[in-house]
Amino acid sequence: MKKILIVDDAVTVRMYHRQLMESLGFEVEEAENGIEALEKGLVRHFDLFLVDVNMPKMDGYRLVEEMRKTPELQAIPVIMISTEASEQDMEKAYLSGANLYVVKPANVDELQTYAALLAGGE
């Protein structure tokens, strides 16, 4: 089963994304911020990270940058999810190493499709 790590500081959002991902048949784990996500990612393999941008302690950009610098994590696909729809935010996400940028609240089909694609199947 494919494993997904949902990184978001908002409980509600994590719950929502968990529902979406579990309905695709993914196994889901959650992290509240970048640091927790790195810790979890280092002890267990994930097929995809869903990452929020604005988080305490370590935000999404920093998290993805750290991932890309860390040999164990650098190849994991990342979908970054943010409320910001602007070009600059999107560019910043790609620059930091995200593979896809989705504006939140995301279209359900869209998010599910992309998650399934980037994780390499359902």
Partner 1 sequence: MDPMLEAFISESRDNLETAGRCFLELEKCSGDEGLLNDLFRSVHTIKGSSGLFDIPVFTKVVHAAEDVLDSVRSGELLMTPEHIDMFLDTMDQVSVWLDDLESTGSLGDGAEARSQVLVQDLRALLSAPPTVGSDPNVTEPEDLSQPQDAPDTGGRLCTPPGWLAAMPDKLRLALYARTGGESLDILAIEYTPDSQCFFSGEDPLHIVRTLPGMVWFHIQARDSWLEPVEMDPYQCNLVFHAVAAGTDNEIRHHLRYVNEWVHVMLLAPDQLVVPEGEFGDSEPFETFIEESTQLIEEGGWRRLRQRIHPLLEVSEPGFLQTSVLHWMETLLKEDEPNQALLESLLETLRSGVFQWPEEMFDPVTQDNTPSLVEDGTSVSMHELDEPRLAAVRQALVVQRHILSMPCSYELLAGRIASVAKVVKNLLAASESHPAGLDAAIETALDEKSPEPLVAFVDDLLSAMKPDGKKPASGPEDKPMQREEVRHQDVSGQQVGGSDGEICPRMGAMPKQMSTSAGEPPARSKTLRVDQQRIDALMDLVGELVVAKNAMPFLARRAENDFGIRLLAKEIKAQYAVINRLAEELQGAVMQIRMIPVSSVFQRFPRLVRDLSRKLGKQIRLVLEGEETEADKNVVENLADPLIHLVRNSLDHGLETAQERESAGKPAEGTIILRAISHDDQVIIEVVDNGRGIDPEVIKRKAYGKGVIDEQRLDTITDHEALQLIFAAGFSTAEEVSDLSGRGVGMDVVRSVVMQAGGRVSVESKKGEGTTIRLSLPLSMAVTRVMMVEVAGQCYGVAMENIVETVRVPTTDIQRIKHNEAVVLRDKIIPLFYLSKLLNLKVNTASSGEVAILLMKVAGQEVGLVIDEFHEGLDIIQKPLEGVLVHYPWYAGAALLGDGRVLLVLNIRELLSCR
39 binds partner 1 (CB under 8 A): yes
58 binds partner 1 (CB under 8 A): no
24 binds partner 1 (CB under 8 A): no
Q: How many residues bind partner 1 (CB under 8 A)?
A: 63
Three-state secondary-structure class, residue 24? coil
1 binds partner 1 (CB under 8 A): no
Asked if 67 and 38 count as a contact pair (C-beta separation under 8 A), the reply is yes
Binder among 4, 6, 51, 114 for partner 1 (CB under 8 A): 114
Take residue 81 and report the two structure tokens written for it: 């999810």
Smallest gap from Cβ 26 to partner 1, in A, equals: 13
β-strand pairing of 48-52 with 78-82: parallel
